[in-house]
Amino acid sequence: MTSVFKKFRRDLKFRYGRQLRQLNYWLVARAAMLIISVLRLLPADSALNFADRVARRVGPRVGRHQVAVDNLRKAYPGKSEAEIQAIASDMWGNMARLAAEYIFLDALFDYDPAATSPGRVEVKGIEHFVEIAAEKQPHIVFTGHLGNFELLPVAAATFGMNITALFRPPNNPYLADYILSTRRSTMGSLLPSMAGASFALAGVLENGGNIGVLVDQKFSNGLETTFFGRPCQSNRVLGTLARHYDCDVYPARCVRLPGNRFRLEIEDRLILPRTADGIVDVHATTQLLNDVVERWVREDPGQWMWFHKRWEIGGGRRGKRPTQAKAPVAGA
């Protein structure tokens, strides 16, 4: 009877725990939508500046702030506590602006290749956008969570670049639906990061398409790499796809500028490291991606999400350099 009662309690806890979690998601989403409704009443600049001010006050009071500060201390051991806190404050302002900018994406992205006067958005590396759009072969474009990275696929569409962007939906299903609908209206093809996503990306490349991938998050059971000189685990998928399809890989980023302006930049294609037999070295390529993102973060540390547990090691893979696995093949 005791075991039956314990099982009943576990089942009850699971059932009601799931319902409470859904209720919490719903309440958070309702609060977020209320804030969005209020921000919509304001001009874009006023709304973004207001969101920035509020986040700089509220951010240091949430639990993730300590994660961000601890990460910053380890990444920048030579910086003072005041400098660390200033970067963390800039990070919260950047994240709040990013959230609020979903409301105003259409108004914010005003780049026109034919315009004679500057707008909110400037583009560096236009020749690469044009080249990728014109070439009838697959390409991989990668970025990190810097500035408003959501503007990059909007820019790609402006230049006629057909790109499928991999994204991670929020855990909150109600917010996920809202964000997905907003993204789809301006960013073209989107692919949720979930089981089977690597095969879907392979299918895009197989058909000569282009993919966009964020590469700066922790990936459990990923390849052992370093970021800011500290060990971390990174997703091998980009290196594996680059090896299998031998396609060009381009770094791209968004830099937030003063006055609610942005610079979207696509850099020269990477020269990928290769093994002795001439194929792309997946492990070395994955590390190269980390090095590029680290360079970007060092240039604008307040524009990266330091509250992410990038250096958390899990999955029992620590200390082992994995062998190169076969690339996913579309239809396999």
Q: How far apart are CA 166 and CA 173, in angstroms?
A: 17
State the virtual CA torsion across 42, 45, 50, 55 in degrees, nearest 10. Answer: 130
Question: Is it the case that residue 328 has pLDDT exceeding 50?
Answer: no
pLDDT in tens, 199-252: 888 999 999 999 999 999 888 889 999 999 999 999 999 999 999 999 999 999
* Separation between Cα atoms, residue 18 and residue 287, nearest integer Å: 39
Residue 34 CA to residue 57 CA, distance in Å, equals: 20
Q: Name the DSSP class of 225.
A: E
| Cα Rg of the chain, angstroms | 21
Q: Domain map of the chain by residue range?
A: 2-101, 118-303
Strands 230-234 and 223-227: antiparallel
pLDDT for position 199: 86
For the stretch 118-134, pLDDT in tens is 899 999 999 999 999 99
Q: At a CB cut-off of 8 Å and minimum separation 6, what does 21 contact? A: none
Q: So what's the pLDDT on residue 138?
A: 95
Q: Any residues with CB less than 8 A from the CB of 144 and at least 6 apart, and which?
A: 214, 215, 216, 253, 293, 296, 297, 304
Residues in Cβ contact with 241 at an 8 Å cutoff, skipping those fewer than 6 apart: 140, 198, 201, 202, 205, 211, 247, 327, 328
pLDDT tens, residue by residue, 182-205 = 665 555 576 666 666 788 889 999
Alpha-carbon dihedral 57, 58, 64, 66, rounded to 10 degrees: 40
**Cα separation, 26 vs 47, whole angstroms:** 24
Predicted model pTM: 0.84
What token pair was written down for 312?
């958390």
Write down the H helix ranges in 247-312. 282-299
What is the C-alpha end-to-end distance of the chain, expressed in Å?
49
